[in-house]
Structure 1
């Protein structure tokens, strides 16, 4: 082959490869597929949310999310998954340019080993979970891990409980800091027995820990139930918010199904310059493929605030 022809052929081939690398998984397998939607924020679906449209395979589901335009993903149960699957999921997320959101720290504080109690055995369980979470985070290129301190220790004054939780979380932060990882504390509305329930309380705990590896997970669904005034309270605690989750109330389904004005909330978050992940930690209001498409459509609608 002549040198000129070789150079021309190489250039054409390189151009074709460059073009294909920018195409979505769907476009490569189905030329009639529409282009991914461009979202203004990093909304993160979870496994099972689109299983009717994408199939049961976790990798197919992640690829489907990317094809719809979602640029992040979260998986509460990641620590319990097979190491080979964790690795493959991490590789797929990297290939599709998606940000890995939260997973839950296994035994990271629960009703059976509440950090408010100040007991060494509970602290040991928590710290072991933190150490194992670091290895999982490396496999999936994660930055944030959810921690729930557990329940109240009713026989102790609240100030002592606060001190116990802060000291335990300081120890956890010491594990995460060298790796640039962040545990995000989630106040919940599920039970009156839970120690962590409000954003201002969580803000106080984060200030006490005083570490870049301890921040707030502001779950909009839970905070609407326990305190309301979403934008006001997010603004008050903004410098400690590291992660956000979504769910409408009542029902904990996709935006547009409840009382929260998500278009206004998303606009406010965008204007604050938030570049982190917004986890779609909710169910689908309708079953089947139509219900899954309704979730996608709801996010496209509520994200159109510009």
Structure 2
């Protein structure tokens, strides 16, 4: 596995493979890698000639400076994880100047409203930061295919919209959320949980599975009330928001229509660790 530490070095690597007409698969990360990340590269390996990773903790997508400071940085372990997987041909480790030559400032995008829902409502400017770094990485890596986990479903939708706005010729693939044996979504943030907090996190997938059971049998206001009651009885975990939204618009809904696809989104805080998860909903009529 080749370790690429500068934009200039990356340009040479990409040019070589473009000349050979190799297809390039890419999945950007912020490090603190876990099997969920590796699942992206496993899929990419089956669909591309060359697979590229990147590790860069992007400052413009953090609203809280403390969150940025606390974000786990485990580069040595990450490189070993990528090497051991056998799925990755090269990893790009850019410096800030490689991605933000004029300083770490986000571009502003019009994502047609999906940036204002859920995460966008609670984290103003977050998706401008995501869009800025992903657009720049796409322009430098020039992938044919890019892979993102469905755990960050709204981010996946934003990136699909980004490619439309920028007319970048990269196909975006969503990969199902990787989960621990107890159902908790794999996340770099899980490393910050205490042992007790990690056990408490099981309520997240358990609640989403209950929502799936209720969906189509109860009204959405009734489901919302049941979820609220679950967390009112859990003093060690705070629900930031729960939403059932249309998968296309990401707008929350109050009435189920059979010709639409829906997804439940749940965000909680355990201690000082913010965790997100979601689940596609099918009808139980």
Common topology (TM > 0.5) = no
Higher relative helix content: 1
Whose RCO is larger (CA < 8 A, sep 6+)?
A: 2
Higher relative strand content: 2
TM value normalised by structure 1? 0.28
TM value normalised by structure 2? 0.30
Greater radius of gyration (CA): 1
